[in-house]
Structure 1
Amino acid sequence: MLERNFLEFINGNRLFGSADRVLLAVSGGLDSVVMTHLFHQIRQPFAIAHVNFGLRGDESDADAHFVQNKAREYGVPFHLTRFDTTAEADQRGISIQMAARDLRYDWFAQLVQQEGYACVATAHHQNDVLETLLLNLVRGTGLAGLHGIAVRQNTVVRPLLFVTRDELETYAREQGLHWREDRSNAEDTYARNRLRHHVVPVLESLNPGLLHTVPHTVGRLRAAETLMREELERSWQAVADRRDDRILLKADALLNLTEPDFRLAEWLKPYGFSADQSARMGQALRNQPGQIFQSATYRITHERDGLLITPLSASLAYSLTVEALPDGPVDVAGQFSLAFAVFDRPADFRPPADAATACFDADRLRWPLTVRPWQQGDRFRPLGLNGHKLVSDLLTDQKVSRPDRERTAVLLSDNQIAWVIGRRLDHRFRVTTETKRIMLVTIRS
């Protein structure tokens, strides 16, 4: 019966094809030993992979030897690796369990790619689903954390999620299978074990059919999350205004939605922002603009009309020298490029109105020219004005957002600002009726 249900679960979830080679993650414990036997019974091509984490001395070595003998017994390929898990955990500042998980799944992924396996199968079952759900609930989670364990996640499949541990043990004894017992499973060192030994029995006393009702609950939670994701995507389209590499989340549109703070937190997860940061952004939207929030890769500034998401740029501390009239566009620190052209002034010349183009009296410019970010204290004489003005004041007057302020550069001639690039020409370098030659400089993205 278990073998038939096993095959039906695999086919029903389309985990792999009957001719696919599957890599089995086998620890030597009850679950993985039964999984290996079931793969053999349904004649599915497979190989075995075992990780020796070196955490239990001779017992760990004995586990590896036991699993290797299983591979010989079934006549299938065997892969073995060993990690210094404790050293890895100490180096990364994480728990031994987390280090072990990362090490084994990274290794499995390498084997799948190198050896051409269709996927890697792990022996998680319904008890694991319940324990994972409870762990996530205790630690704090959203709907995604209440799924327990997915049947498929990238190249990892879990073909035993339909069965309980008791059912696996009954089958193993009926088939005369032998397995290794990990002594640490009987201890209360880890949170999962404490839940398994003390919490789950209480819950099962309240509902003896708990393990069979959990999959139905998880299914409903997955359906609810699907609906939630669809609504988040729909409302994102209504709120988000994409502008090249930046996104403006319009304040009015966001605050008119139900649960705006929750939506904001979900939207901003992929950009590396925490739930706490998102909550503070929601509060900021109800106050005066100006606050700044930053993740490892993005910055969000509270502007007058909403939250502006921009990628963190590479270092903007550059200074580019243009020695002479270049033949082609000049790249400016990967931010933009400038194209230069010089020609005789036509009698009917009129400067273009495009802010991305500036026209200079070529004979007033002195080579070399310099391009650099504007700096606090920079002054220039804006076109049409008699006096000087701080560049910072110009940007404030033009209501330039903080990200755009940081990207604003200046073109200098003989250490004098000739152009606040893309924003304002200096009056001293303008084209006049006395101009004989014009230099045209154009911004190209």
Structure 2
Amino acid sequence: MLQKFQNHLLHNFHFLNGKKILLATSGGKDSMVMLHLFQQLDYKIGIAHCNFQLRGMESFEDQNFVQDYAAANGIPVFITQFDTKAFAEDYKVSTQVAARELRYNWFYELLETEKFDYILTAHHADDNLETFLINLGRGTGLEGLLGIPEQNEKVVRPLLAFSQEEMEVYAKLNNIQWREDSSNASDKYLRNKIRHHLVPMLKELNPNFLSSFHKTQTYLQEAQVMVEDASIMIYQQVARQEEDIIYFDLQQLRKLPNYKSYLYQWLNEFEFSAWDDIYDLVESQSGKYIYSAEYRLLKDRDSLILSPINFVDEREEYFINENQKEVNIPLNITFCKVADISNVSNKAIFVDADKLKYPLVLRHWNEGDSFQPFGMNGKSKKVSKLFKDEKLSLIEKENTWLLCSNEDIVWIIGLRQDDRFRINDTTNNILKIQLE
């Protein structure tokens, strides 16, 4: 196995040569085999061990075993202890999720503080099969059927090409000592049930099942590459991006023979999960939306609009004093006295400075706000009605600011000026207010 492993590293993980690598070592058979293999090769290694304190004294005996092995072999070792159960309760997650979160956060800290280049874990082919079966049972897309990736950024899994059986034979031939995790014998966890019952049955039906499974995953990975290529091409036809907001053209989207697959491919990275609701959004009425943890997908007429969640505080206000020449938060606006009017646009207005009451206020619009547009002979119009006339999306409404004098709106910024503050024949002081 050593020669096979060395060739595997040479052909698939050549970037590890000359790097400082950290081996995640639990003390179990898999991680001790990985550690032994790297000891036989010319790599700069260190050991990282997590004590999750989930098995009483057994957890501390594992810790001592790893520490003693590192000391006996002159290998740098890093140990940490977690109150995993408390973390799981605090963040309302399962113990397994808590352990994974704690483990990988610590690994990345070590990479930074101890100047390691990569963290290596001992996941093998049987682990990969178990992950595939778990995802298959839960319902997943193509990506979920690809199993455990060989590399995620700085995390590398060099043993995925090797079976549990190969590793056990290697361990026995080389008299490798390891610690047995008593929880692995329990059927409390889904992974253990699959490991103890389903996988042996599959291998009994087909002794070469792992090899066949590996071929299947290779085909799936090739299919995934094709899907990603097609997704990029279609995305360019359907989507446009303005800063951090993405607009999906529904007319173009509906022309696709299977637009749901494309939506999944495009939106999966934004951690959406309510896929049926997202697909229904395409035919929903305007104004409906779906949230993920950090993003919102909004149906707006002929578009789906993806944007980061902006929790608008309607109470947010900014005050502008009479002598200020500019403001930079929340918008870049300049104020200057001018002799006459020029270049009037939605980005710049000219007002009678003597009609303004200071301090001016920049604030979000509220339901019920009204202003007096030009040409309406002093009649008021709801700001919400203006938004409807202008066909603004919910996101555009949320990002609209008002410049006010006392309670009166001077400018719906970027849209309309209020008639009450316009200049006339009696105006002596003209103030130009411009949105940069």
State how far apart, in whole Å, the 2-side matches of 1:381 and 1:49 are: 68
State how far apart, in whole Å, the 1-side matches of 2:293 and 2:149 are: 28
Aligned pairs for 1:313-392 (under 5 A) are 313-316=310-313, 317-327=315-325, 329-332=326-329, 334=330, 336-345=331-340, 349=341, 351-386=342-377, 387-392=379-384
Match of 1:432 in 2: 424
The alpha-carbon deviation at position 287 of structure 1 amounts to: 4.3
Evaluate the alpha carbon distance shift between residue 322 and residue 263 of structure 1 in structure 2; reply closer, same or farther with a 3 A threshold. Answer: same
State how far apart, in whole Å, the 1-side matches of 2:295 and 2:267 are: 10
Q: Describe the SS at the equivalent of 1:363.
A: helix
Match for residue 294 of structure 2 among 280, 294, 297: 297
State how far apart, in whole Å, the 1-side matches of 2:38 and 2:300 are: 59
Match of 2:280 in 1: 283
Evaluate the alpha carbon distance shift between residue 310 and residue 57 of structure 1 in structure 2; reply closer, same or farther with a 3 A threshold. Answer: closer
The alpha-carbon deviation at position 16 of structure 1 amounts to: 4.0
Query: 1:355 is aligned with what amino acid?
Result: N
Q: Describe the SS at the equivalent of 1:109.
A: helix
The alpha-carbon deviation at position 209 of structure 1 amounts to: 0.3
State how far apart, in whole Å, the 2-side matches of 1:98 and 1:287 are: 35
Query: 1:339 is aligned with what amino acid?
Result: T
Deviations 1:231-270 (A, max 9, x none): 1121111111223442221110111112112211332233
State how far apart, in whole Å, the 1-side matches of 2:137 and 2:228 are: 24
Instruction: State whether residues 336 and 431 of structure 2, in contact with CA within 8 Å, keep that contact through their aligned partners in structure 1.
Output: yes
Runs (5+) with no aligned partner, structure 2 = none
Query: 1:299 is aligned with what amino acid?
Result: R
The alpha-carbon deviation at position 223 of structure 1 amounts to: 1.2
Deviations 1:146-205 (A, max 9, x none): 122122222122222221111111122222222222222222111111111110111112
Evaluate the alpha carbon distance shift between residue 385 and residue 18 of structure 1 in structure 2; reply closer, same or farther with a 3 A threshold. Answer: closer
Query: 1:420 is aligned with what amino acid?
Result: I
In the alignment, does 2:219 pair up with 1:220?
yes
Match of 2:8 in 1: 9
- TM-score relative to the length of structure 1: 0.92
Instruction: State whether residues 284 and 299 of structure 2, in contact with CA within 8 Å, keep that contact through their aligned partners in structure 1.
Output: no
In the alignment, does 2:86 pair up with 1:94?
no
Q: Describe the SS at the equivalent of 1:269.
A: helix
State how far apart, in whole Å, the 1-side matches of 2:418 and 2:306 are: 31
State how far apart, in whole Å, the 2-side matches of 1:307 and 1:236 are: 13
Identity across matched positions, percent: 38
RMSD: 2.0
Aligned pairs for 1:100-115 (under 5 A) are 100-115=99-114
The alpha-carbon deviation at position 308 of structure 1 amounts to: 2.0
Runs (5+) with no aligned partner, structure 1 = none
Query: 2:418 is aligned with what amino acid?
Result: D
Q: Describe the SS at the equivalent of 1:366.
A: coil
Match of 1:404 in 2: 396
Tell me whether 222-231 or 307-316 shows the greater mean CA deviation: 307-316
Evaluate the alpha carbon distance shift between residue 121 and residue 247 of structure 1 in structure 2; reply closer, same or farther with a 3 A threshold. Answer: closer
Evaluate the alpha carbon distance shift between residue 405 and residue 10 of structure 1 in structure 2; reply closer, same or farther with a 3 A threshold. Answer: same
